[in-house]
Amino acid sequence: MTHHQGITPRFQPEITPSVEELEAQERRLVFRQFTHDDAWALGSLLVELARERQAPVAIDIHRAGQQLFHAALPGSTPDNDDWIARKRRVVERYGSASYLVGTRFRAKGTTFEEAARLDPGTYAAHGGSFPITVEGVGVIGAVTVSGLPQLQDHRFVVEVLEQFLDR
């Protein structure tokens, strides 16, 4: 198969981010504070962009064990809420993005499911849940999206956090 200049192959695999790249995202995406109003504004921005893209996702924001925001867009299902809970528990337990946790296990030549010794019905180290970190405090919660392939869930949350924190 020949490639013409400027045309990308149709089934080019997505480049998977490295552990270092994922850790850098977490260091960069830190809040000065995170209030109920911030949860509403962040959740609303996620919904707005998901609607524009017609993404069939559910969106959730938790802080200190309390759900501050939840939305289910057309095409999402109750299964997405189950994935949200399982991915969020990984963030709460490890203090890192669910995708980063899974990537760390893969980088060691194993999988989260094999090596973590945690119930996969309770924990899922799949992309889409990102820690809400407050300067000088640490991880206080998680923002989670479910409904797209895991790397896209992760990238969507990161993209929206970048926009939100740039305001």
Q: Could you read off the pLDDT of 37-85 as tens digits, one per residue?
A: 999 999 999 999 999 999 999 999 999 999 999 999 999 999 999 999 9
Domain that holds residue 160: 29-166
Q: Find out whether 100 and 22 touch, Cβ atoms under 8 Å.
A: yes
Mean pLDDT of the 90-109 span? 97
Mean pLDDT of the chain: 93
CATH number of the domain encompassing residue 119: 3.30.450.150
Does any domain span residue 13?
no
Q: In terms of Cα–Cα distance, which of 134, 124, 43 is closest to 90?
A: 124
Tell me: pLDDT of 16 over 90: no
Residue 21 lies in a domain: no
Residue 2 included in any domain: no
Phi, psi of 31 (to 5 degrees): -95, 150
Task: Please report, as a single letter, which amino acid is at residue 152.
Answer: Q
Does 12 map to a domain?
A: no
